[in-house]
Amino acid sequence: MGFDSFIGNASAVATVRKILRSGRIPGAMLFAGPDGVGKKTLAMMLAKGLVCEKNQGDFCGECRRCRKAEEMIALGREDLARRREIKEAARRVEGLVYFDLQLIEPITSYILTEQIRQLRNVAYTCPFEFPRRVFIVDDAQAIHWQAIDVLLKVLEEPPDTTTLILVCPNAYELRPTIRSRCFRLAFQPVDEGSILALLAQDKRLTKPQQALAARVAAGSVAQAKAFDLADYQRRRQPWLDFLESVLRVAPGGRDPAPWSSLFDAAKALAENREDFDRTLRIGFSLLRDVLQLREPGGDKEVMNVDLVARLKTWAAGSSLEDLECLKAGLDRAYRLQIRNVNQQLGFEELGIDVVTGRKSTLTQTG
């Protein structure tokens, strides 16, 4: 336990530790950076560091107060989940109670005015169980515009007894007046080495699979932890079948056009209409990989690291024109998804165009 267990963003962690050691705790902080890198986790660690009975400048996770802090976070989460289920808008914010450590998140697509009003009401009062209150406002960019002035009032006169931590992906989504009143901590995507070290603990994944998971996670610890190999492979398989049919290379030229496998793959691709966006991104990643593998040393950046040998064969046998045509086809599928059309025909046509060399129409009209 303690800050040593935090993965990545060493300079943010160092700053938090320094703040704790100095005892000068800012009234308002802003944790900004990409999703999944642990902004909220570090905010909660800071909160524990402020109250821990054992470790100064750190936290143990075991003492009475550390456990109490966990409990407060859990209760706050339960409360938010319950409120999100309430149909009647006015009743969603009825009877808000904030603990000394409180997680504040959007109840609807917004953090509602009443949530921020309650924050202001409590911020200036004495903490109840802890030496200091910490309010963590996650997705701070979602604070309802009508609540911004209320929040600004609190930031203008920061309370002595409360620290506000605003958490958001991009600081520039917040008003400059809010930004300028917060002590800002910038987070970066986590380096691949740290993510690989984390994934190495997952014994269900082989080394190449860990490498794949790290690439897919793209700097997000949360994504690395949530990586589901079976799901990824299930989504990827129809792409492999499709591209294999389209880019298949035989000694001395193309195989005879593999129509039936091409049509089967097109059908499978179009079938997955739920979460089509995620499926499409896998298609894009495979194309990008093939494109990169055409260059010497291109395998360093490849996403589907577990398939390098196979992708290299495709790279060697496909022309730039083939790949551009496929890319244009995927772009078109991406645009069409909002209209929720069945894309099977589109993928079939795309495959035929590449196999028969009839690409000009597609790349031109997109």
- Interface residue list for Zn ion (CB under 5 A): 52, 54, 59-60, 63, 66
Q: How would you classify the pairing of strands 183-186 and 101-104?
A: unpaired
Torsion, CA 341, CA 346, CA 347, CA 350, rounded to 10: -160
Would you say 54 or 132 has its CB closer to Zn ion? 54
Two tokens, residue 336: 């069409």
The DSSP H or E segment spanning 134 is strand 133-137
24 phi, psi to nearest 5 deg: -95, 100
Find the shortest distance in angstroms from Cβ 56 to Zn ion. Answer: 10
In the block, tokens 């997705």 appear at: 139
Would you say 50 or 66 has its CB closer to Zn ion? 66
Would you say 45 or 266 has its CB closer to Zn ion? 45
Find the shortest distance in angstroms from Cβ 1 to Zn ion. Answer: 8
Would you say 101 or 122 has its CB closer to Zn ion? 101
Find the shortest distance in angstroms from Cβ 79 to Zn ion. Answer: 24
Find the shortest distance in angstroms from Cβ 222 to Zn ion. Answer: 25
Find the shortest distance in angstroms from Cβ 66 to Zn ion. Answer: 3
Would you say 66 or 140 has its CB closer to Zn ion? 66
Distance, C-alpha 317 to centroid of its chain: 35
In angstroms, the CA 299 to CA 306 distance is 11
> Which three-class secondary structure string do you get for 64-127?
HHHHHHHHHHHHHHHHHHHHHHCCCHHHHHCCCCCCCEEEECCCCCCECHHHHHHHHHHHCCCC
Neighbours of 267 (CB within 10 A): 14
Find the shortest distance in angstroms from Cβ 7 to Zn ion. Answer: 20
Would you say 58 or 138 has its CB closer to Zn ion? 58
